[in-house]
Amino acid sequence: MQTQHLTFSLAHLTVHRVDFTPDTFVDTDLLWLPHHHKLSHTGRKRKAEHLAGRIAAFHALQEHGMRCIPDIGERRQPLWPVGWHGSISHCRNSAIAVVSKQPVGIDLEDIFTPQLGDDIATGMITATEREVLDAAGLPFPLALTLAFSAKESLYKALSFAITELPGFTSAQVVAITPHHITLRVNERFAPTLAGRHYQLACCQRDQQVVTLLAETLQPR
């Protein structure tokens, strides 16, 4: 599969991005993965996305002197080396990955179209969050995409603390700028984390956004 690797910095971490050409993927490309047998019944599109994500993860780990590829866990999560945390995301023909000594979550999304934003907003944010997004001075589709992506990154970073998949309203946007978004979690996300605020870094790259949780704030 044809790929191109590049990096960029976000929240003082290096994000590794792999752009790939799905049409060039063949099943034998998966032999590069030690766990390739676990993907034997997966569709071609998913295989290409998985491979690109693991290539990005390999580069992220190699940055820290580790030449390994994360296996697949029981909940389909990447298995990182002991003492390390990481996160992978993919969207269309790109995959990104990041690793850290602290819990970390990253997400890549296409910016919603105005129509899509209007269609899904009520299931994703509360009326109070809508007021926060409207006051941010950003186009609403962009603000909503950042909110969606931030909640995805939050879940990835804190999945170790929850037992069930939380709904989108289990974390609420309390502040948003073009570069940062702050979420407050409630008991539906995880009782042990209720009331905590988490600040995520975010950026827009062409028609996509990236959000990254790499630090936590104390409860307010």
Render pLDDT for 113-136 as a digit per residue (tens, 0 to 9): 999 999 999 999 999 999 999 999
Q: What is the CA radius of gyration of the chain?
A: 17
Quick one: 82 and 140 in the same domain?
A: no
Q: pLDDT at position 115, please?
A: 96
Q: pLDDT at position 161, please?
A: 79
Position 22 in a domain: yes
Domain count for the chain, please give it.
2
Q: DSSP string of 128-178?
A: HHHHHHHTTTS-HHHHHHHHHHHHHHHHHHHGGG-SSPPPGGGEEEEEE-S
Quick one: 33 and 62 in the same domain?
A: yes
Quick one: 24 and 122 in the same domain?
A: no
Question: CATH number, domain at 146?
Answer: 3.90.470.20
Positions in the chain short of pLDDT 50: 217-220
Q: pLDDT at position 217, please?
A: 46
Quick one: 94 and 159 in the same domain?
A: no
**Domain containing 184: what range?**
107-213
Q: pLDDT at position 211, please?
A: 98
Alpha helices in 18-166 (DSSP H): 44-62, 114-124, 127-134, 140-158
